[in-house]
C-alpha cells in the first residue's frame, strides 16, 4: 500500500501523538486526525465490507457522505455502529473495528456472497424466498420467509448496536438568535462576520470538529489566515460559534434542530457532561452555507479500496498531511479536479488526469504542465482493476457521444469527480423542491419566501472567492430581513468553471459487463436501476423503495443523482422530469438517546409527590402510581401480603379509625360575585342554595349528557367556594371551568384557581374519627355532631397552630372527615392524627383499602364514570335537578340515554361465596357465555365486612332486573368463569347510618 | 394549645444536600428560598386598574407591572401572571369586596428556587423553550412556561431567576435542574 503520512503539512498537531486501536491492533495518529486519515497514514486500505456482497471497501470521501469506511466504535454498552471513519476524531483510547465481516474486514468469510452477486439483484430475497415453491404453494402467509429472514439479516447488515442500556446521558436545550449560519466554510464565515458586525446576534454551527470548511483543504496559508481572521472577528463581535454541531433539520418558523456532540471525542469525559445535546434553535433568519458534495459516477468496480472522490484527496493532503496514493489517476468531467491533481503532484505523486471533455482551455490545462501532471482529454474510467485494492484502471476513450475501450494504466489511487451536488437537504426539509441547473448538472435551491437564504456552494457557486461574496450577499439578505437594511453585495451567479461540465453518470462500452455501484452503502448497482425500470417502476420514489437506493445511512448523499440520471435515461427523460426525492430530517443520524434527553428512568415523566410522601414511606407505605402522583397503596406490617394488609386496614377503619392521604384529589378555588351561578350551571344537582359552612356532593356532565366528574364543593362565603375533583380528572375539570368562563360565559365574574398544591389532605374515617380529630385541633367543640353535622364545613386550627379546613364527608361510608392544611404543614398534621389514631388502635390505609371500602358502599370512581356512563346509569339520576338548566341537562334526556335497558350500576356477589372473580370480566347469561354479554365488572375486592369477594359493575336493566338470577362472570383469558349474583350496589350500610352517626 | 403556626416543611427537605456538586467552579447556584409568601389578587375587567393599584400599595412596590412583567425586587414584588391576575410576592393582600377583587393565599402551593450564576440561563434553557437572552427577557420579566412538561412560573428579579414550581413536582424538577447543573459546577443552598 502506498498511502503515507507526509513529512510536513496539514493542519494536524504533530506534537500530539495519539494512540488508538483498530481491529484490536494499536495505531497512532495525531491530534486533528480523523480515524480515516490516521488509518490511511498507517497504510490501512480496507475499512469495511459491503452490505450485501461483502465486497471490501475503503475510504471513499473525507466527510459525512462516506459510504465505504463505516465502522463500529466503542465497546460493550458504548458500542456505536455505522460511524463514518471520515468524521470520527481520534482520541487516546479510541477503539474501532470493522463491521459486517467475520473474522475481520481484511479476510471476511462473507465475501463468498460476491461470487454469487449476479443473482442478488434488487428484490432478490423477496422474489426468491417468499411463497417459495413447492413448500408454500397454495398457502398464504410468510412463515418460511420469517425463518429465512433471520439468516439473511445475519448475513447482511450495517453493524450491531449494543443491547445493553446506554450508560451515557443526553440533554435537550433551547437556543435563540437573530441569525443562524449553518456551515463555517468561506461563505458561512463571511456571512456570519457581516451579520455579527452589524450587531446581530449570530450563531454559527459547524458539523466538523474544525471550523473552516473548504479553507481547511487548501495548502495556502492564506486560507487559514482568512479563517482565523473571521473567527477572531466573530469573537470580538460577540457571536457564538459551535463546532461538532450538526444542523440536522429545519422546521416551521425558523426552528432548526441541532445535535451537538459533546464528549464523543473525549477519552475520559467528565461524568456530568452529556454525551450529546439535542438543541432546538429559533432564529429570525437562517443562512445555509452547507456546501456541496462531490459526485462519483458509475464504472466497473468503482467501489474498490483506493477509489475516492477527488476533493477528498485535497483534504487528506492539505488538512491531514496524508498522501493517499503515489501513482494517481484523476478522472473528471469538470474543472474542480485540476487543482486536486496539482496538489497531489506538488507533494510528490505521479498524477494522470483524464478528462471526459475533449476541449480544455490552456488557462486550465496549462496549470498542470508546471507540476508534471499528464493530461488525457476525451477519456474516462471504464473499469477499476484489482481485488483488495486498485492496481490499474481500464480507460475508455470518447467516440462521438459514447465510449470505446481504451488503454490500461497502473495506479494505486483513483480519484473521481463526476460533478458537484449542492447540499440542499435542509431547505428540502421545508418543502422547497430544488430545481435542476442544466449548466452545472445539479439540483440547486429554489427560492423560498421563508427567512432562509442559501449561499456559497450550496447555491452552486464553486469558487472560494465567489463563495465569500455570496456569504456577504446572504448576510445582506438576513440583515434586511431582521433589520430592514438594503442589500449592498450582489449574489454571484451559480457556477464558476471556465469549461462547462460534461454530464457523466455512467461509463458503458458495448460488450463489457461490469458491476458498477451507484449507492455503495446498500450495494445498489446501475443494473439494479435498469432492472427496476424493466419491472415497471417508473417513479423515482418507487425506484428508491424497490432498490433501496438512498436508504442507507448517507440517505442518498452519494448516489441519488446518479440513480435518477440512470432512471431518466431508461425512461428517455431529463433528470428533473423524473422528479426529486424529498430529503427529510435528520441530515445525519442522531442517537436515540439524544431524542430522549433527560426524559428517561426515574425522570421519564415528572414525579408528583404529596406533601406527606416521605412521611408515608417512613410509616411503611408501599406506593402506587396514580397518574403522575404516587399514592400510598398499602401499609403492610411485617410478614403481611398486600391482601392481608388491605383487609386489615379496611377492617380497622370500619372498626375504629383509619387515616388516608387524599392530597391527590383535585382542588379548585372558585371566587367571585358569580361563583354560585357558575357552580349551579356546572353541576347537575342544585347548588344555588348551598348554605355557607356546608359542602355538597356534585356530579358534572359533559355537553352530551355523559358524566364528566364528581366531587364535593365547600362554601366558605357568598363568593368563595372550594371544589374537589377526582384525582384523575383534576386538570380536565380545571380546564373545563376556564373554558366555560372564557368562551361561553365571559360575563360571569368568577375566577378559578387550582389549589391542589396548596392544600394537603387526609381522610379520617371510622367510628372513632371524631374523637381522634377532636384531640388534634385547637378547639374540639367545632367538630361535635351539632357543630359539624354530616356535610358540614369549618375553618379552624390544628393543635399545633396550623390553620386547617375540615369537612365532614365520607367516601368510606363511615363517619369521616377530610382535613386540609397548608402543604408545608402536612407532616405535622399527620403526626398529630397518627398519634391519636394509634391510641384507639387505628391505622393508616392506602388506596387498596380505600377501594375496598368504597366498593362495599357502591361509591363510583373513574372506572365506573368511564366516559360512557350517564348519571342514571350510575344510579345517581335522582340527584339531577329538573328545575334548572345546567351543562348536559338537555342531552342527558336523549332517548338513547333514557332507555330502560341501559347498563346500570350493580353489586356482584359470587354464587359460591368462597369463590372470587376479577375486574374486567364480562357478565353473561349462563346459557350464552359469548360476545359482549349483558354487562361488565368494573371493580372487585374482598369485603372485610361481608367476608367474601364482591364487585361493582354495569348490567343491562340494573339489579332489580336480575334479582334471583345466576349469571356468569366470564374471564376467558385469565381465570375462567365464575357464577355470580347481581345485587344492589350499596352492599354495606345501604341506609348510611354509619356516616351520619 | 400552640400560639404560633408550626415551622413549615419544604418539599425538598431531606433531599437537597447543600454544598458544591459537579465539576469545579460554580456556574450555577440553586437556592431554595424558604417560607414563601405568595398571594394572588384577581380582579375584573372593570376593576383591574384600581385593584392593581391597591395590590401594589399593599405590597409596597412602586408601580403596577405591565403584562408578563413584575415590579419590585427579590424581597417584595407584584407579578402580572394573567391579564386579570397578579401575584404578590413577599406580602399578603386583602380585598374589601369581591366586586372589586378576590384574593387567595398560594404560599404553600409553590416551591421557590433562585438560580444564579453564569450558566443559570443554560440550565433553564435545557428545559424551557423561551428566549431568556437579556434583550428578550430583562430583569422583571415574567413568564408562565414549562419545565419537563410541568407548568411553572419564571421571573427574572434583580437577584437572579426566581422559579416557582408546583410543590408536588418540586423535588422531581429540582433533581433535573441539579443534574443539568453538574456539568457547570453547582452550589446548592
Q: Which of these ranges, A124-133, A686-695, A722-731, has the smallest mean pLDDT?
A: A124-133
Q: How far is B107 from chain A (nearest CA, A)?
A: 7
CB-nearest to A174 from B98, B128, B149 is B128
* pLDDT surpassing 80 at residue A860: yes
Residues A894, A327: Cα–Cα separation, whole Å: 89
Enumerate residues 94 to 113 of chain B having a beta carbon within 8 A of any beta carbon in chain A: 98-99, 102, 104-110
Residue B158: inside a domain: yes
Residues A854, A950: Cα–Cα separation, whole Å: 11
Q: How far is B45 from chain A (nearest CA, A)?
A: 9
Complete domains list, chain A, with CATH? 1-167 (3.10.20.440), 168-294+420-498 (3.50.50.60), 296-418 (3.50.50.60), 509-581 (1.10.10.1100), 612-663+758-845 (3.30.1360.120), 666-754 (3.30.70.1400), 861-870+896-996 (2.40.30.110)
List, in sequence order, every beta strand (DSSP E) within A726-798: 751-754, 759-765, 793-797
Residue B163: inside a domain: yes
First to last CA, chain A: 97
If DSSP codes are grouped into helix, strand and coil, which group holds residue A780?
helix
Residue B60: inside a domain: yes
CB contact under 8 A, B169 and A607: yes
If DSSP codes are grouped into helix, strand and coil, which group holds residue B151?
strand
Among candidate residues B54, B83, B105, the one where a domain is terminated: B105
Same domain, yes or no, for B132 and B62? Answer: no
CB contact under 8 A, A272 and B108: no
Q: Report the domain count for chain B.
A: 2
pLDDT in tens, A390-421: 999 999 999 988 999 999 999 999 999 999 99
For residue B1, the model assigns a pLDDT of 44
CB contact under 8 A, B176 and A603: yes
Give A-chain residues touching B125 at CB under 8 angstroms. 173-175
CB contact under 8 A, A756 and B127: no
pLDDT band at A555 (very low <50, low <70, confident <90, very high): confident
The residue count for chain B: 189
Q: Is the dihedral of CA A798, A799, A800, A801 positive or negative?
A: positive
Contact assessment for residue B88 and residue B51, using Cβ atoms and an 8 Å cutoff: no
The secondary structure of A898-909 as a DSSP string is: H-TTSEEEEEEE
Listed residue (A214, A158, A286) closest to A11, CA to CA: A214
* pLDDT surpassing 60 at residue A1: no
Give B-chain residues touching A628 at CB under 8 angstroms. 169
Q: How far is B60 from chain A (nearest CA, A)?
A: 25
Q: Looking at residues A151-162, what average pLDDT do you find?
A: 77
CB contact under 8 A, B1 and A799: yes
For residue B2, the model assigns a pLDDT of 46
Contact assessment for residue A299 and residue A384, using Cβ atoms and an 8 Å cutoff: yes
Residue B181: inside a domain: yes
First to last CA, chain B: 34
Contact assessment for residue A169 and residue A225, using Cβ atoms and an 8 Å cutoff: no
Give every strand in the sheet of A720-725, ordered side by side: A695-701, A707-717, A720-725, A666-671, A751-754
Query: In a 10 Å sphere around its CB, with 0-12 CB exposed, 13-18 middle and 19+ buried, how is residue A221 labelled?
Result: exposed
ipTM, 2 dp? 0.97
| Nearest chain A alpha carbon to B39 | A758
The one-character DSSP state at A111 is G
For residue A853, the model assigns a pLDDT of 96
For residue A571, the model assigns a pLDDT of 87
* pLDDT surpassing 50 at residue A355: yes
If DSSP codes are grouped into helix, strand and coil, which group holds residue A753?
strand
* pLDDT surpassing 70 at residue A484: no
Residue B138: inside a domain: yes
pLDDT in tens, A912-961: 999 999 999 999 999 999 999 999 999 999 999 999 999 999 999 999 99
Residue B6: inside a domain: no
Same domain, yes or no, for B132 and B183? Answer: yes
The secondary structure of A641-656 as a DSSP string is: -HHHHHHHHHHHHHHS
Same domain, yes or no, for B113 and B184? Answer: yes
pLDDT in tens, A217-239: 998 899 999 999 999 999 999 99
Listed residue (B35, B166, B155) closest to B90, CA to CA: B35
The residue segments making up the domain with residue B180 are 19-34+109-188
CB of B34 less than 8 A from some CB of A: no
Same domain, yes or no, for B67 and B118? Answer: no
Same domain, yes or no, for B117 and B180? Answer: yes
Same domain, yes or no, for B68 and B121? Answer: no
CB contact under 8 A, B127 and A673: no
Query: What pTM, to 2 d.p., does this model score?
Result: 0.93
Q: What is the CATH number of the domain that holds B151?
A: 3.30.1360.120
Give A-chain residues touching B22 at CB under 8 angstroms. 272
Residue B3: inside a domain: no
Listed residue (A737, A610, A739, A597) closest to A678, CA to CA: A737
Same domain, yes or no, for B113 and B176? Answer: yes
Among candidate residues B78, B105, B132, the one where a domain is terminated: B105
Cell of A979: 357464577
Among candidate residues B105, B133, B157, the one where a domain is terminated: B105
If DSSP codes are grouped into helix, strand and coil, which group holds residue A863?
coil
CB contact under 8 A, A606 and B42: no
Residues B61, A112: Cα–Cα separation, whole Å: 83
In this structure, what is the dihedral angle of CA atoms A511, A515, A516, A522, given to the nearest 10 degrees? 150
Same domain, yes or no, for B127 and B101? Answer: no
Same domain, yes or no, for B121 and B181? Answer: yes
pLDDT band at B109 (very low <50, low <70, confident <90, very high): very high
Same domain, yes or no, for B119 and B72? Answer: no
List, in sequence order, every beta strand (DSSP E) within A729-778: 751-754, 759-765
* Residue A597, strand partner residues: none
Residue B8: inside a domain: no
For residue A751, the model assigns a pLDDT of 98
Q: How many CB atoms lie within 10 A of CB A917?
A: 27
Q: How far is A640 from chain B (nearest CA, A)?
A: 29
Pairing of strands A80-84, A245-251: unpaired
The secondary structure of A147-174 as a DSSP string is: HHHHHHHHHS-S----SSPP----EEEE
Residues A289, A184: Cα–Cα separation, whole Å: 7
- Select the residue from A617, A751, A755, A827 to test the B interface by mutation, using most B Cβ atoms within 10 A: A751
Q: Looking at residues A339-361, what average pLDDT do you find?
A: 93
Same domain, yes or no, for B69 and B118? Answer: no
Contact assessment for residue A750 and residue A671, using Cβ atoms and an 8 Å cutoff: yes
Distance of alpha carbon A444 from its chain centroid, rounded?
30
Q: What is the CATH number of the domain that holds B53?
A: 3.30.70
If DSSP codes are grouped into helix, strand and coil, which group holds residue A226?
helix
* pLDDT surpassing 80 at residue A280: yes
Residues A289, A453: Cα–Cα separation, whole Å: 9
Residues B165, B186: Cα–Cα separation, whole Å: 19
Same domain, yes or no, for B120 and B181? Answer: yes
Interaxial angle between packed helices A526-534 and A560-571, expressed in degrees from 0 to 180 and rounded to the nearest 10: 40
Amino acid at each position: 500500500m502506498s498511502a503515507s503520512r507526509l513529512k510536513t503539512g496539514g493542519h494536524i498537531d504533530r506534537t500530539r501523538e495519539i494512540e488508538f486501536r483498530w481491529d484490536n491492533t494499536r495505531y497512532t495518529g495525531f491530534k486533528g486526525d480523523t480515524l480515516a486519515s490516521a488509518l490511511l497514514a498507517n497504510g490501512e486500505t480496507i475499512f469495511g465490507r459491503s452490505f450485501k456482497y461483502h465486497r471490501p471497501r475503503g475510504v471513499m470521501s473525507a466527510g459525512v457522505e462516506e459510504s465505504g469506511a463505516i465502522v463500529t466504535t466503542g465497546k460493550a454498552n458504548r458500542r456505536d455502529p455505522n460511524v463514518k471513519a471520515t468524521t470520527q476524531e481520534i482520541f487516546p483510547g479510541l477503539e474501532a473495528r470493522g463491521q459486517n465481516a467475520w473474522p475481520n474486514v481484511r479476510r471476511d468469510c462473507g465475501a463468498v456472497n460476491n461470487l454469487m452477486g449476479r443473482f442478488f439483484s434488487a428484490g432478490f430475497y423477496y422474489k426468491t424466498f417468499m411463497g417459495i415453491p413447492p413448500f408454500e404453494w397454495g398457502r398464504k402467509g410468510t412463515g418460511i420467509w420469517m425463518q429465512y429472514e433471520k439468516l439473511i439479516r445475519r448475513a447482511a447488515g450495517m453493524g450491531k448496536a449494543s443491547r445493553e442500556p446506554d450508560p451515557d446521558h443526553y440533554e435537550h436545550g433551547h437556543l435563540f438568535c437573530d441569525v443562524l449560519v449553518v456551515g463555517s466554510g468561506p461563505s458561512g464565515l463571511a456571512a456570519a462576520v457581516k451579520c455579527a458586525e452589524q450587531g446581530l446576534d449570530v450563531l454559527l454551527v459547524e458539523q466538523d470538529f474544525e471550523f473552516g470548511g473548504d479553507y481547511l483543504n487548501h495548502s495556502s496559508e492564506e486560507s487559514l489566515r482568512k479563517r482565523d481572521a473571521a473567527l477572531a472577528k466573530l469573537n470580538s463581535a460577540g457571536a457564538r460559534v459551535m463546532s461538532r454541531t450538526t444542523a440536522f433539520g429545519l422546521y416551521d418558523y425558523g426552528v432548526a434542530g441541532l445535535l451537538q456532540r459533546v464528549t464523543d471525542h473525549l477519552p475520559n469525559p467528565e461524568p456530568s457532561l452529556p454525551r450529546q445535546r439535542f438543541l432546538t434553535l429559533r432564529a429570525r433568519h437562517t443562512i445555509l452555507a452547507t456546501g456541496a458534495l462531490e459526485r462519483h459516477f458509475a464504472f466497473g468496480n468503482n467501489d474498490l479500496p483506493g477509489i475516492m472522490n477527488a476533493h477528498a484527496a485535497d483534504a487528506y493532503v492539505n488538512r491531514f498531511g496524508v498522501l493517499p496514493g503515489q501513482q494517481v489517476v484523476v478522472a473528471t468531467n469538470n474543472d474542480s479536479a485540476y487543482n486536486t491533481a496539482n496538489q497531489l503532484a506538488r507533494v510528490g505523486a505521479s498524477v494522470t488526469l483524464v478528462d471526459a471533455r475533449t476541449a480544455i482551455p490552456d488557462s486550465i490545462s496549462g496549470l498542470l504542465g508546471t507540476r508534471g501532471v499528464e493530461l488525457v482529454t476525451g477519456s474516462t474510467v471504464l473499469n477499476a482493476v484489482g481485488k483488495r485494492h486498485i492496481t490499474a484502471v481500464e480507460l475508455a476513450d470518447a467516440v462521438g457521444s459514447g465510449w470505446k475501450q481504451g488503454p490500461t494504466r497502473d495506479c494505486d489511487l483513483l480519484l473521481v469527480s463526476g460533478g458537484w451536488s449542492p447540499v440542499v437537504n435542509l431547505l428540502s426539509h421545508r418543502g422547497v423542491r430544488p430545481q435542476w441547473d442544466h449548466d452545472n448538472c445539479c439540483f440547486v435551491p429554489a427560492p423560498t419566501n421563508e427567512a432562509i437564504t442559501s449561499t456559497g456552494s450550496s447555491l452552486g457557486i464553486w469558487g472560494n472567492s465567489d463563495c465569500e461574496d455570496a456569504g456577504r450577499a446572504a448576510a445582506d439578505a438576513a440583515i434586511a430581513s431582521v433589520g430592514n437594511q438594503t442589500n449592498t453585495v450582489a449574489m454571484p451567479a451559480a457556477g464558476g468553471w471556465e469549461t462547462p461540465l460534461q454530464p457523466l453518470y455512467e461509463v458503458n462500452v458495448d460488450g463489457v459487463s461490469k458491476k458498477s455501484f451507484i449507492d455503495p452503502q446498500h450495494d445498489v448497482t446501475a443494473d439494479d436501476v435498469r432492472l427496476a425500470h424493466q419491472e415497471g417502476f417508473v417513479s423515482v420514489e418507487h425506484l428508491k423503495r424497490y432498490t433501496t437506493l438512498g436508504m442507507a445511512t448517507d440517505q442518498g448523499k452519494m448516489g441519488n443523482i446518479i440513480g435518477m440520471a440512470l432512471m431518466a435515461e431508461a425512461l428517455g427523460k431529463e433528470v428533473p422530469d423524473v422528479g426529486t426525492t424529498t430529503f427529510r430530517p435528520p441530515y445525519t443520524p442522531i442517537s436515540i438517546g439524544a431524542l430522549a434527553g433527560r426524559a428517561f428512568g426515574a425522570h421519564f415523566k415528572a414525579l408528583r409527590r404529596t406533601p406527606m410522601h416521605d412521611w408515608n414511606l417512613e410509616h411503611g407505605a408501599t406506593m402506587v402510581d396514580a397518574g403522575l402522583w404516587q399514592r400510598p397503596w398499602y401499609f403492610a406490617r411485617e410478614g403481611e401480603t398486600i391482601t392481608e394488609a388491605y383487609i386489615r386496614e379496611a377492617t380497622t377503619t370500619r372498626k375504629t379509625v383509619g387515616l388516608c392521604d387524599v392530597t391527590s384529589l383535585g382542588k379548585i378555588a372558585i371566587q367571585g360575585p358569580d361563583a354560585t351561578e357558575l357552580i349551579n350551571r356546572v353541576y347537575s344537582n342544585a347548588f344555588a342554595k348551598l348554605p355557607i359552612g356546608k359542602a355538597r356532593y356534585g356530579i358534572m356532565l359533559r355537553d352530551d349528557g355523559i358524566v364528566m366528574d364528581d366531587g364535593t364543593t365547600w362554601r366558605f362565603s357568598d363568593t368563595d367556594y372550594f371544589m374537589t375533583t377526582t384525582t384523575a380528572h383534576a386538570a380536565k375539570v380545571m380546564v373545563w371551568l376556564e373554558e366555560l368562563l372564557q368562551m361561553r360565559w365571559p360575563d360571569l365574574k368568577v375566577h378559578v384557581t387550582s389549589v391542589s398544591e396548596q392544600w394537603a389532605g387526609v381522610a379520617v374515617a371510622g367510628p372513632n374519627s371524631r374523637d381522634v380529630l377532636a384531640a388534634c385541633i385547637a378547639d374540639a367543640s367545632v367538630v361535635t355532631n351539632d357543630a359539624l353535622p354530616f356535610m358540614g364545613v369549618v375553618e379552624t386550627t390544628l393543635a399545633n397552630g396550623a390553620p386547617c379546613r375540615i369537612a365532614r364527608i365520607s367516601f368510606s361510608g363511615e363517619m369521616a372527615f377530610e382535613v386540609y392544611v397548608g402543604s408545608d404543614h402536612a407532616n405535622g398534621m399527620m403526626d398529630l392524627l397518627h398519634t391519636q389514631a394509634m391510641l384507639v388502635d387505628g391505622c393508616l390505609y392506602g388506596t387498596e383499602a380505600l377501594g375496598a371500602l368504597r366498593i362495599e358502599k357502591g361509591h363510583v370512581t373513574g372506572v365506573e364514570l368511564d366516559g360512557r356512563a350517564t348519571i342514571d346509569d350510575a344510579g345517581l339520576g335522582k340527584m339531577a335537578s329538573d328545575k334548572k338548566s345546567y351543562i348536559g341537562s338537555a342531552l342527558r334526556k336523549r332517548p338513547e340515554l333514557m332507555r330502560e335497558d341501559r347498563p346500570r350500576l350493580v353489586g356482584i356477589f359470587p354464587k359460591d361465596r368462597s369463590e372470587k372473580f376479577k375486574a374486567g370480566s364480562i357478565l353473561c347469561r349462563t346459557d350464552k357465555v359469548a360476545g359482549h354479554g349483558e354487562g361488565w365488572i368494573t371493580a372487585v375486592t374482598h369485603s372485610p365486612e361481608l367476608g367474601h369477594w364482591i364487585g361493582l359493575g354495569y348490567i343491562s336493566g340494573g339489579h332489580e332486573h336480575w334479582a334471583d338470577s345466576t349469571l356468569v362472570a366470564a374471564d376467558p383469558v385469565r381465570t375462567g368463569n365464575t357464577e355470580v349474583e347481581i345485587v344492589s350496589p350499596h352492599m354495606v350500610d345501604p341506609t348510611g347510618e354509619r356516616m351520619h352517626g | 394549645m400552640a400560639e404560633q403556626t408550626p415551622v413549615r416543611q419544604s418539599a425538598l427537605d431531606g433531599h437537597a444536600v447543600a454544598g458544591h456538586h459537579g465539576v469545579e467552579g460554580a456556574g450555577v447556584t440553586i437556592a431554595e428560598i424558604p417560607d414563601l409568601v405568595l398571594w394572588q389578587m384577581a380582579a375584573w375587567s372593570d376593576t383591574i386598574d384600581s385593584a392593581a393599584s391597591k395590590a401594589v400599595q399593599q405590597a409596597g412596590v412602586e408601580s403596577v407591572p405591565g403584562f408578563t412583567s413584575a415590579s419590585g425586587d427579590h424581597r417584595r414584588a407584584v407579578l402580572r401572571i394573567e391579564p386579570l391576575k397578579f401575584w404578590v410576592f413577599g406580602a399578603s393582600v386583602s380585598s374589601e369586596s369581591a366586586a372589586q377583587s378576590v384574593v387567595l393565599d398560594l404560599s404553600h402551593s409553590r416551591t421557590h428556587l433562585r438560580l444564579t450564576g453564569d450558566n443559570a440561563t443554560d440550565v433553564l434553557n435545557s428545559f424551557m423553550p423561551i428566549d431568556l437572552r437579556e434583550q428578550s427577557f430583562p430583569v422583571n420579566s415574567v413568564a408562565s412556561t414549562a419545565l419537563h412538561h410541568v407548568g411553572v412560573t419564571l421571573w427574572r428579579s434583580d437577584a437572579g431567576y426566581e422559579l416557582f414550581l408546583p410543590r408536588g413536582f418540586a423535588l422531581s424538577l429540582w433533581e433535573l435542574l441539579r443534574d443539568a447543573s453538574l456539568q457547570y459546577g453547582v452550589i446548592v443552598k
